[in-house]
Structure formats: structure tokens, C-alpha cells
Structure 1
Amino acid sequence: MLEDGLGYPVRGDWVGRIIIGGVLGLLSVLVIPTFAVFGYLVRVLERTVAGEEVPPEFDDWGDLLAKGVVATLIALAYSVIPVVAYGIFITVVAGIGSGIGGDIGALVGFTGALLALAFIPVLFLIYYAVPAALTAYAARGEVSAAFDVGLLKPTLFSVDYLLAVLMPIVVAIGVFVASVVLLVTVVGAVFVPFLQFYGQVAVFRMFGTAFADQSDRLQAKPTGGDGAAATSI
């Protein structure tokens, strides 16, 4: 999976794609280019799930922007709701501790502080769920698919998807180290957005591959005694 992901961005006529992606990265402060890149990454998921081996081109910009906006909203939905709920919970615990006072209040406050550290796993859960949700959206072309528990559950609990989530961390570290080296050379700093775009495409390829592999297994799984293939996904 890692080898396939790293080789994917440079298949076909890759130079033009990397240049466009890098330029959009340079212009990301304007926001709209960010949506275009996000939309392109959704298209990478679409192509991967469909079984295509060559990355998509930058075309139909209206579609790219629309997909980018929708994908951003999906990611925000998965991120904001847990963060807000967790923040409210911590605030309530801290308020109770302050209201009680004394040793019991101090104990409750200390417990709240420990719970605050548990925010790190919450962030990981968000990071873990968002790619699956985006891939489900890309595969079905429907926003509701991103929140379809029945569709997401098999992928989220698969070993392949876990590896697909962990491997990008390796890619991200490699891209970060290479970016630092480029930044040190000053002139090389110009190439950082292009390198980062390459890393993003590689990572989303791995997410899409894990989702597609899990979907294929579910479709091939016999149902009942007649050996018919399941078609739930």
C-alpha cells in the first residue's frame, strides 16, 4: 500500500498536475484554491475506489470547487461536534469542582485536568474517522454516505484501514523532513508546496485503496447458502 501510494502521484502526465497543485498550495491563503485542492483529493478518492490507476486531471473546476466545499463541511462536522461536546464536558466537570470546593472539589478538578489530557485520543479519533467519511462521500457521490454508519463501520474496523491511517503519518514525517531541508536552502523553499501536494495525493490514494479493498471483500462475501455476493456497499 505504501509503495503504491508513493508512486501514484507521478503516474501518467504528472508534471503538470504537480505544478498546478503546488501553485494552488502557494495561493491557499486566498481560500478558494484550498477548496480546489480539497476537491481534487476527493476526485483521487473517487478514481481509486473506481479502480483507476492514474491520478485525475485538473479539469471541470466548478465540480472541483463544489466537491472541495462539501468535503470541508464534512470534515468540519466530524471535527467541530466532538470538540465542542468534549469542551462542554470538561467545563462542566471543572465547574462542579469549583462549586464543591474543599478536598472533594480539588479531586474533581484534578480529574477534569486528567480528562483534558484525553483530548489527544479525541483528536486521533477525528483523524481516524474523517478519511473514511470523505471516501464514502467520494464513492457514493452523496453527502449522506459520509454519515452512514452501516457503510463506514466495516472500513473503520478493518486492519487495512488502520494501516492506511498510520502509513500517512510516515509519509507526513518524510514530507516534513524534506520540507525543512528545502526551507534551509531558501531557494528550495519554493518547492515545498509542490512536495506537500505530492504527499497529500499519496496519502489520499492510500485512504481510497483501504476503503476499496474493504468494499471488495464485503461484496465478495457469500450470503446464505446460495453463495451470492453481498452488495451492501
Structure 2
Amino acid sequence: MPQISDAITYPTEHDDWVKTFLIGGVLSAFGFLLLPLLPVYGYVVRVVRHSLEGDPRPPTFGDWEELVVDGAKAVLVGVVYMLIPGIVGGVAVGGSLVAVATGTRGGTATGLAGLVVGGLLTVALSLVLGYVAVAAVVAFADERRIGAAFDPDVLKPVVLSGAYATAWVFSVAVLVGASVLVGVLNGIPILGAVIGAFAFFYAQVVAARLWAGGYVDARTEADGTTRPDVGGPVA
């Protein structure tokens, strides 16, 4: 797994990094249109793939069809994994609202209790399946087939690995930190949202680099084969 400092500077380790950063930031700024996010997610997949192949430099944008297709596949993988939390959350909210709508004291108490329990269960499922979903996207990037994202033989040694878990935790910290920054910047009309989009794109690239490193270490531990080095130990 890359050193945290290396992962943070990774997006700049290319002569054309400014151009890449500008393209990714602009696409992210128009993410509310949804379609521009597909090449962004495709780029994240490309970052993972390059890292898994041992390339110390980030990739550039280009071959847009591949970016869009890979981005769409990554979104599909994420949606499939998050279906269960979504269903549980929907049932919890719906059932609670029905109970509260009865207008009785018991119905209200039951509804509120169901909302709290259902909400906690939804959060727990989202964390667990989100953890697996990231490994699934990396597996797809690695093997270039969407079936790998749902292959227990591929995913089990990764999600049970301490190396991958550590990489995932650090990536979450990076993404949460970026989200907080974006929230603060959103207080600045227009300009804040634009700067926030660039900041979050940068954080996504850092996170992708960490995911790849954790995945490499996990698979190496599992099968004993030598895979490309993706940075050094966590520091």
C-alpha cells in the first residue's frame, strides 16, 4: 500500500497533471448533470488499473469511450451492492411513516423506534457493503470483467485482509475530509462549489491509489505471487 504522503502527491506525478486536474475538476463541477460523472468514474477505474500495473504516474484523460463505459460499469457495480441498504432504508422509512400515520400513541412510538432501528441497520449495511463494493470495483479494474466484481473467490481474500482494510479506512478519511471541505466551500456562492468539485476530484484520485495498493497487498498475501509494487508501507 502506498505511503499516505505518496498517495496524496500521486495526482501530480505526471507532466500533464494540471490538464488532467482541470478536465476532472470541470467534469465534476457539472456532475449535477450526472452524465459528466461517468468519465470521472471511468478515470478513477483507470487510476486503479494503472496503479495495479505498477505505473507510478497517474493516467491522463483520453479514449473517452472507454472512460464512459468503465465509469458506467463501476456505477452498476456500486448500485448492485447498495441495493440491499436502499431497500432496507426504504422499508424502514415507509413502515415507520405508516405506523406514525395511525395517529395513536403506540403507533407513533413504534414508528419512531422502527425509524431509529431501521436507520442504524441501513447505515451498518451501507458501511459493510460499501467496503465490499470498493474491492469489487478494484477487482473489475484488475481483471477487466464485470463478473470479477461479484466473484467470491476474488473478493474474499481482499475484504478479509488487514492491508485492504487499512487502505479503505485511510481512503474514507481522505474522502470525508474532502467532503467537509466541500461543505465549507459551498458557503461561497458559485466559486465555492467549483473549487469544491476540483478538491473532491483530487481526493477521489488519492483514494483510488490507496484502494489499488491495499488490493495488491491483499492479493499478494493470499496467493503468494508477486504483483507490481504500489508505493511503500503506510506512514
- TM-score with structure 2 setting the length: 0.79
Report what 1:2 is aligned to. Answer: 4
Change in 2 beyond 3 A, CA 1:35/1:187: closer
Cα gap change, 1:215 to 1:160, in 2 (>3 Å): same
| Partners of 1:45 and 1:208 within 8 A in 2 | yes
* Counterpart amino acid of residue 117 in structure 2: L
Q: Give 2:18's match in structure 1, choosing from 5, 15, 27.
A: 15
After superposing on structure 2, the runs of 4+ consecutive aligned residues of structure 1 that deviate more than 3 Å are 85-96, 105-115, 176-188
1:197 paired residue number: 201
Which of the numbers 52, 72, 80 marks the counterpart of 2:83? 80
Unmatched 5+ stretches in structure 1: 97-102, 222-228
Equivalent position amino acid for 2:158 in 1: T
SS in structure 2 opposite 1:52? coil
Instruction: Give 1:212 deviation, angstroms.
Output: 1.1
Does residue 71 of the first structure (1) align with residue 74 of the second (2)?
yes
Counterpart among 144, 148, 172 of residue 151 in structure 2: 148
Greater shift, 190-199 or 200-209, is seen at 190-199
| Bigger Cα displacement from structure 2, 139-148 vs 19-28 | 19-28
Q: Indicate the larger mover: 34-43 or 24-33.
A: 24-33
For the residues of structure 2 that align with 1:21 and 1:213, how far apart are their CA atoms?
28
CA spacing shift, 1:196–1:111, aligned 2, 3 Å: closer
* Alpha-carbon spacing, 1:117–1:52, altered in 2? closer, same or farther (3 Å): same
**1:215 and 2:233 aligned:** no
CA distance in 1, matches of 2:213, 2:24: 21
Aligned identity (percent) is 30
Residue 136 of structure 1 is matched in structure 2 by 139
1:122 counterpart residue number: 125
- Deviation, structure 1 residue 145: 0.2
Q: Using a 3 Å threshold, how does the CA distance of structure 1 residues 92 and 61 change in structure 2: closer, same or farther?
A: same
Contact 1:36 1:65 in 2 (8 A): yes
Q: Distance in 2 between matches of 1:81 and 1:111?
A: 20
Aligned equivalent of 2:233: none
Per chain length, whose mean CA-contact separation is higher, i.e. which structure has more relative contact order (CA < 8 Å, sep 6+)?
Answer: 2
Distance 1:177 1:85, change over 3 A: closer
Alignment of 1:170-181 (within 5 A): 170-180=173-183
Q: Secondary structure at the match of 1:53?
A: coil
The normalised TM-score by structure 1 is 0.80
Which amino acid in the other structure matches residue 11 of structure 1? Answer: E
In the alignment, which residue of structure 1 is the partner of 2:210? 206
Contact 2:96 2:115 in 1 (8 A): no
- State the shift of 1:111 in Å: 6.8
Distance in 2 separating the partners of 1:181 and 1:79: 28
Root mean square deviation, CA, Å: 3.2
- C-alpha spacing 1:186/1:113, structure 2 compared with 1 (3 Å): closer
**Which residue does the alignment assign to 2:171?**
168
Deviation (angstroms), 1:108: 7.8
